[in-house]
Chains A and B, each alone.
Chain A
Amino acid sequence: MKPGLRRLWAIFYRHGALYRRSWPRLLDFVYTPILELAVWGWTMRYLSAHAGLAAEAAGLAIAALLLWQGALSGQLGFSVGFLEDVWTRHLGHLFVSPLRPAELLIALTGLALLRVAAGFTAAALLARALFALDVLRLGPAAFAALALLAVMGLGLALGITALILRFGLGAERLVWTLMAAITPLSCVFYPVANLPPILRPAALILPSTHVFEALRALFAGAPTPLVRAELGMAALLDLLLLLLMGSAFLGAFASARQRGGFLRFEE
């Protein structure tokens, strides 16, 4: 194996060894997606049966919820993978090894995508068993939506880790709260038009908003070009987010080397 690949494998090995010894961490891969799907799925089913909500709307909401887990798992998978080395004061040892920052980012991305796949698979199986919703019925668009949301989660995680590198563990709170904070603007359960006009521009710069607009268009039987246009816009915004947050991470890394951030991690 080439040294660069072996270094990537080292990070997978490090987290594999950690998860092998810690079942609560392993459970966390599927815990949140299953919990959220169960709570909101049953709520939507109740509303559709008792409040006259159309059955398709309930199905749409459950599908949206299922896909939103992609963004959540992507963000958490990456951020928590990074935090494991912050919590154990291990970053200093890692960054004097031949491991390059970009290699760490690639490995954390791979780990986060594994978490997305595990969480989505568990939640999709549950949605099929409990709510008779087969998300695969949506075709390739469902996978494109999941991938775009996962990439958005990764982009946001890059930004959060940059803030942790710059400001220390005071920024850790964002790992647990940022996705909840942007859920209303992502228009997961309602169209952008439902937001107050003043908030719509902020919503439209989020890739997730376009993914969910595409999903609603798909459920409403809108023409394929419209769905593709929304997904294309989400992909473009994802790319911009990754570039922006990747630069922020590299800037924060350089700043940590300048300020001694790896020697004394601020709380």
Chain B
Amino acid sequence: MSPASLAEVRGLGKAFGRRWVLSGLSFAIGHGEIVGLIGANGAGKTTTLALLLGLLTPSAGEIRLLGEDMIRHRYRVLPRINFTSPYFGLPGRLSVASTLRLYAHLYDVPKASARIAALAAALGLTPLLEAPVLRLSAGERSRVGLAKALLNDPELLLLDEPTASLDPESAEIIREALLAHRARRGGAILLSSHNMAEVGRLCDRLLLLRQGRLVAEGAPRALCAAHGVADLEALFFALGGERAAPAPR
């Protein structure tokens, strides 16, 4: 792993039975980088994040996060990274404050009360701290998920569609929080998204997956220029969509 890399993935693959849903994936993420994982539904974005987190065991390849072999030393890495996904739940009957306190204990966060108050203020959650999570709107829950993901001030933050199905204001609060985290912490962020305008604005680099393979990688503008398209949406249709040319084998 190069000294500048927080994450390095080589030849990563995952098969369920005989069906390979991801294969030959290699990439690195440097300090302070925001990298976007894009691709159609089923392209392998969530699978990639789950493999990086150790929630899935790989069928092939290597994953090194923060200099550690994630497959062998997962519990050395987990306290220093974090994750959220709208597709995973939080304990619905717990209040927002109790949910964040639970995770502050799990991540051994020092001065937890102050940290929770600061994150709640930054994400507009202060008036909701005593509300049960199950009474929150989708946007509010996503912000709670992000507060949980930022609790331990992670060096590497993994996010699965962090603004999926959110109104523009909630999505903007989340994007601003991510940029603020990067600016302050200098850590890296890997996020999956279907929102091309969002990844164009947030990400330094994109990884475009199609049918479980990496078909393009680079800075948003450079990728568009290299493929002769006007914007990322056009790039998606050209390379990542179901109607694009077959992925290389």
Contacts and interface: CB of A to CB of B under 8 A. Distances in A.
Contacts of B24: none
B75 A257 contact: no
A97 B107 contact: yes
Interface residues of B, number: 35
Given A89-B88, A257-B54, 19 more contacts: A3-B108, A6-B108, A7-B105, A10-B106, A13-B98, A13-B101, A17-B94, A88-B90, A88-B91, A89-B89, A90-B91, A93-B83, A96-B54, A96-B55, A98-B79, A260-B50, A260-B56, A262-B55, A263-B56
B162 to A, nearest CB: 14
The secondary-structure label for the interface of chain B is mixed
Contacts of B82: 96
B106 A97 contact: yes
Contact of B106 (A7, A85, A258): A7
Contact of A90 (B78, B89, B98, B101): B89
A51 to B, nearest CB: 47
Contacts, number: 97
A90 B90 contact: yes
Contact of B16 (A7, A93, A260): A260
Contacts of A99: 106
Contacts of A92: 55, 85, 88
B211 interface: no
Contact of B56 (A10, A88, A94, A257): A257
A111 to B, nearest CB: 14
B46 interface: yes
Contacts of B83: 93, 96
A6 B101 CA distance: 11
A88 B141 CA distance: 13
A90 B102 CA distance: 12
Contacts of B10: none
A9 interface: yes
Contact of A3 (B46, B79, B85, B102): B79
A18 B88 contact: no
A177 interface: no
Interface in A218-267: 254, 257-260, 262-263
A143 interface: no
Given A21-B132, A96-B53, A96-B83, A14 B94 contact: yes
Interface of A: 3, 6-7, 9-10, 13-14, 17-18, 21-22, 84-85, 88-90, 92-100, 254, 257-260, 262-263
A17 B98 contact: yes
Contact of A13 (B47, B79, B87, B102): B102
Contacts of A21: 93-95, 132
Nearest to B92: A88
Nearest to A94: B106
Contact of A17 (B54, B87, B95, B108): B95
Nearest to A88: B89
